[in-house]
């Protein structure tokens, strides 16, 4: 039990005060005393105390000066200043310098001092717990990031080998495959790789610093369309860009957002739609860009609209392949760059996403 006792250092140049303090509190706390700031500092080198009580009026170094001197080397112990009524200036100074928890006036009231000590100790414990939790969380966060990184790499490299084998088998015609099993293997591998790439995307979004550079929505969206066009050549893309002013933003995150949303607009089309459409509209203003991504696809059930940005949520009404992570990444990426997203959808008719992204062009100048 002794280990758990509150350890207090009391510094006062008047020896009878030190003795009186000892006499009153020795049964409750583990007490160390010193009769000058100098001696106190020496003692602190060998003992780890929770609370330091110092008299203000001491020759050579005052209580406030002492606390000020040790604030860098010993930030943890909670400081209590003992002082007479007349030292208001000193109290103000001490509080303003921010290094004392409380002051107790001399001569002390035993009950009051007990209370102050206990409150100080609670503060000490709370700060300590908080510090431990922070470093624990930092460690977990760091490990998680490294885990995601190495998993995605270690998972991906054998997959790429499998794709290499498939390519080679096609090249040398060594595998007879009348039922198209190799193609099925390939499509499964590509699906799995797509998921791994999403994880890497998520990891990058959470970890990389935000960087602002000039963005030209026209070429950015043309690139996106060129990527997705082959997946469904029937889709008619309509691009409507109004960018009269420069736009600065985080290229990586903005392209992650657009790629995921356009990918969904392409993927979730009605199979029997004769005129599948994806409309992309961009309006750039000095302070923000607004982007609308609109499709006439299968739409989202209204009861699902609240959940689509949750991790791994997948709408049950479609039998399309999906990982349930795309829109979650969109939301996370928007959070990083201070953007917002809204969705409107009619089941069976189509979906429209509206995103706004702050224009960092103004923030620079």
Among 1, 2, 171, 364, binds other proteins (CB under 8 A): 171
161 contacts other proteins (rule: CB under 8 A): yes
Residues in contact with other proteins, counted by CB under 8 A, come to a total of 19
Among 41, 105, 156, 314, binds other proteins (CB under 8 A): 156
Residue 20 or 200 with smaller CB distance to other proteins: 200
Residue that the structure tokens 């939301």 belong to: 331
248 contacts other proteins (rule: CB under 8 A): no
Q: Please check whether residue 322 is in contact with residue 308, taking contact to mean a CB–CB distance below 8 angstroms.
A: no
Binding region for other proteins (CB under 8 A) out of 129-137, 161-169, 256-264, 299-307: 161-169
Residue 342 CB coordination number (10 Å)? 10
168 contacts other proteins (rule: CB under 8 A): yes
Residue 174 or 274 with smaller CB distance to other proteins: 174
User: Nearest-CA neighbor of 327 among 356, 347, 307?
Assistant: 307
152 contacts other proteins (rule: CB under 8 A): yes
164 contacts other proteins (rule: CB under 8 A): yes
Cα 58 from Cα 270, distance rounded (Å): 85
Cα 359 from Cα 284, distance rounded (Å): 8
Among 115, 167, 219, 238, binds other proteins (CB under 8 A): 167
311 contacts other proteins (rule: CB under 8 A): no
15 contacts other proteins (rule: CB under 8 A): no
163 contacts other proteins (rule: CB under 8 A): yes
Binding region for other proteins (CB under 8 A) out of 4-12, 114-122, 151-159, 302-310: 151-159
67-73 long-range contacts, CB within 8 A, separation 24+ = 67/94, 67/97, 67/99, 67/100, 68/97, 68/99, 69/37, 69/41, 70/41, 70/44, 71/99
Binding region for other proteins (CB under 8 A) out of 83-91, 130-138, 167-175, 243-251: 167-175
227 contacts other proteins (rule: CB under 8 A): no
- Give the burial string for 168-195 (b: 16+ CB within 10 Å, else e): eeeeeeeeeeeeeeeeebbeebeeebeb
187 contacts other proteins (rule: CB under 8 A): no
209 contacts other proteins (rule: CB under 8 A): no
84 contacts other proteins (rule: CB under 8 A): no
Binding region for other proteins (CB under 8 A) out of 64-72, 196-204, 287-295, 300-308: 196-204
- Taking CA atoms, 78 is separated from 51, 116, 273, in Å, by 5, 11, 71
Which two three-digit tokens encode residue 255?
A: 């392209």
Report in angstroms how near the CB of residue 200 gets to other proteins at its nearest.
5
Residue 83 or 152 with smaller CB distance to other proteins: 152
DSSP bridge pairs for 312:
none
Report in angstroms how near the CB of residue 153 gets to other proteins at its nearest.
7
User: Nearest-CA neighbor of 360 among 251, 199, 266?
Assistant: 251
Among 47, 88, 130, 165, binds other proteins (CB under 8 A): 165
Cα 220 from Cα 215, distance rounded (Å): 8
200 contacts other proteins (rule: CB under 8 A): yes
Binding region for other proteins (CB under 8 A) out of 33-41, 68-76, 155-163, 295-303: 155-163
Among 3, 172, 272, 303, binds other proteins (CB under 8 A): 172
160 contacts other proteins (rule: CB under 8 A): yes
User: Nearest-CA neighbor of 275 among 354, 350, 353, 221?
Assistant: 350
Report in angstroms how near the CB of residue 316 gets to other proteins at its nearest.
31
User: Interface with other proteins by CB under 8 A: which residues?
Assistant: 149, 152-153, 156-157, 159-161, 163-165, 167-168, 171-172, 197, 200, 204, 208
């Amino acid at each position: 039990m002794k280990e758990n006792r509150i350890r207090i250092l009391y510094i006062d140049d008047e020896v009878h005060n030190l003795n009186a303090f000892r006499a009153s509190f020795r049964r409750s706390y583990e007490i160390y005393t010193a009769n000058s700031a100098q001696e106190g500092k020496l003692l602190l080198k060998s003992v780890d105390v929770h609370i330091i009580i110092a008299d203000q009026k001491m020759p050579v170094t005052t209580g406030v000066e002492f606390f000020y001197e040790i604030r860098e080397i010993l930030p943890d112990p909670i400081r209590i200043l003992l002082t007479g009524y007349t030292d208001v200036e000193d109290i103000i100074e001490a509080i303003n310098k921010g290094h004392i928890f409380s002051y107790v006036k001399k001569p002390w009231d035993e009950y009051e001092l007990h209370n102050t000590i206990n409150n100080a100790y609670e503060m000490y414990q709370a700060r300590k717990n908080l510090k431990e939790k922070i470093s624990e969380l930092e460690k977990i966060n760091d490990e998680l990031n490294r885990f995601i990184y190495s998993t995605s790499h270690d998972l991906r490299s054998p997959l790429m080998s499998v794709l290499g084998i498939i390519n080679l088998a096609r090249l040398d015609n060594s595998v007879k495959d009348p039922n198209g099993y190799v193609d099925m293997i390939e499509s499964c591998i590509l699906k799995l790789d797509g998921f791994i790439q999403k994880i890497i995307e998520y990891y990058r979004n959470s970890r990389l610093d935000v960087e602002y550079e000039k963005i030209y929505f026209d070429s950015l969206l043309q690139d996106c369309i060129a990527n997705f066009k082959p997946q469904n050549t029937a889709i008619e893309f309509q691009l409507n860009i109004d960018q009269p002013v420069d736009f600065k933003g985080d290229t990586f995150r903005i392209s992650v957002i657009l790629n995921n949303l356009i990918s969904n607009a392409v993927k979730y089309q009605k199979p029997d739609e004769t005129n599948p459409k994806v409309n992309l509209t961009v309006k750039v203003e000095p302070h923000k860009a607004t982007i609308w991504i609109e499709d006439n696809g299968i739409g989202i059930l209204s009861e699902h609209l609240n959940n689509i940005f949750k991790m791994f949520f997948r709408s049950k009404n479609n039998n399309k392949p999906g990982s349930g992570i795309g829109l979650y990444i969109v939301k996370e990426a928007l959070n990083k760059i201070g953007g917002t997203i809204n969705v409107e959808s009619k089941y069976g008719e189509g979906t429209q996403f509206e995103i706004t992204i702050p224009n960092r062009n103004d923030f620079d100048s």
